[in-house]
Amino acid sequence: MLAVPDRGGHFFQVRKRGAEPMPQKVLSEPAKGVLAMLGACTVWGLSPIYYKLLADVPPLEVLSHRTLWSFVTFALVLLAQKRLGEFLVLLANRRNMLLVLFAGLMISLNWFVFILSIQIDRAVEASLGYYIFPLVAVVLGILVFGERPLRLQLLAVGLAVAAVLVLTMGLGAAPWISLILAGSFGTYGVIKKFLSAGPVVSVTAEVTVLLPLALVWLFGVHFWGWSGFDGRVGGVFGHDALETLLLVLAGGITAGPLVLFSYAARRLRLGTIGVIQYLNPTLQFLIATLMFAEPTPYSPNLIGR
């Protein structure tokens, strides 16, 4: 590099011809993993806003569209990655097929309860479910895989049990939404341990086996006037432009964070992933209390109910 003066007497640097290019800062693989995990958790954490925009659409219809458009999105991802062969191999095995079906049922239950919780103004309880989930995972690891818990893990589980008891007293009933979300996602994680396929391939298989149910429900809603358990009439797809677009985007909102999570999981320790993952319920809790103005346990609004 040469220092060359300009007309004002100030010096600036000019690279010599043939000189080596200046080294550029490149993110390390763990740093890329952290950014990817932050992106995934941010999308998950902000997802209540998306589902609130679909509050007029019955939850079963939202779930069916999420299944449909997730299938389309994941199939395109696998096609672009030239991994459709892995998907077919996974479903060719009967044992894997049963595991995929069970996993699909668990994640559908999780999705449905989360969507419902947003629509009935129980997003605070939903966020608490994802706070509890890592501790449920510890318990399931002990019961299913015989893992030996550390003392700190046992302490954390004890605190989670205490938190559930506090919530039960504050709500006047067991926090079923929190428990179902944590339990279904924890069970889903256990099932995934028995599948050798990667997350994108396995989720594609899960939505594939549930796709017929989703299509039947959507057909009934649009052509036979079916309504959900709440009696609301649906069939908004194709009639309202905004809601139609939002329903189609369900595929990307489901696939995007999972791809980012998969990218992060290959570059980070599980402990790091676990810590960053708490960003998800934290954002959900903040949105529920600050944006949706939901009461929290022991708040004056809730106690007065």
d(CA 42, CA 76): 23
CB contact at 8 A, 288 and 45: no
CB contact at 8 A, 164 and 179: yes
DSSP state of 238: T
Please report the pLDDT score of residue 67 as a whole number: 94
CB contact at 8 A, 85 and 199: no
Indicate the pLDDT class of residue 248, thresholds 50, 70 and 90.
very high
pLDDT in tens, 206-238: 999 999 999 999 999 988 888 777 777 777 887
Alpha-carbon Rg of the chain, whole angstroms? 24
d(CA 75, CA 259): 13
d(CA 245, CA 154): 45
Amino acid residing at 172: G
- Name the percent of the chain lying above pLDDT 90: 35
Task: Give the residue-averaged pLDDT of 152-171.
Answer: 69
Q: Which residues pair with 3 in a beta bridge?
A: 13
Please report the pLDDT score of residue 13 as a whole number: 59
Please report the pLDDT score of residue 197 as a whole number: 82
Nearest to 257 by CA among 207, 203, 179, 210: 203
pLDDT over 60 at 188, yes or no: yes
The mean pLDDT of the chain is 82
Please report the pLDDT score of residue 270 as a whole number: 63
- The pair of three-digit structure tokens given for residue 148, joined into one six-digit string: 């030996």
Contacts of 31 by beta carbon, 8 Å cutoff, 6+ apart: none
CB contact at 8 A, 128 and 285: yes
Q: State phi, psi for 121 to the nearest 5 degrees.
A: 60, 45
Contacts of 241 by beta carbon, 8 Å cutoff, 6+ apart: none
**Higher-confidence position of 52 and 25:** 52
Please report the pLDDT score of residue 12 as a whole number: 55
Please report the pLDDT score of residue 115 as a whole number: 95
Nearest to 247 by CA among 59, 84, 86: 59
**Higher-confidence position of 155 and 81:** 81
pLDDT over 80 at 276, yes or no: yes
Torsion angle (degrees, nearest 10) of CA 35, 38, 39, 40: 120
pLDDT over 90 at 180, yes or no: yes
CB contact at 8 A, 296 and 65: no
Task: Give the residue-averaged pLDDT of 43-54.
Answer: 94
- The pair of three-digit structure tokens given for residue 111, joined into one six-digit string: 């999705």
Task: Give the residue-averaged pLDDT of 92-102.
Answer: 91
Per-domain boundaries in the chain: 65-294
Torsion angle (degrees, nearest 10) of CA 160, 38, 245, 70: -70
Classify residue 256 as exposed, middle or buried by CB count within 10 Å of its CB (0-12, 13-18, 19+). middle
> How many C-beta atoms surround the C-beta of residue 19 within 10 A?
10
**Higher-confidence position of 233 and 252:** 252
pLDDT over 50 at 303, yes or no: no
pLDDT over 90 at 176, yes or no: no
CB contact at 8 A, 168 and 54: no
Indicate the pLDDT class of residue 173, thresholds 50, 70 and 90.
low
3-state secondary structure of 282: helix
d(CA 188, CA 232): 30
Q: Which residue's entry shows tokens 């509050």?
A: 55
Terminal CA-to-CA distance of the chain, rounded, Å? 73
pLDDT over 50 at 305, yes or no: no
Task: Give the residue-averaged pLDDT of 141-153.
Answer: 73
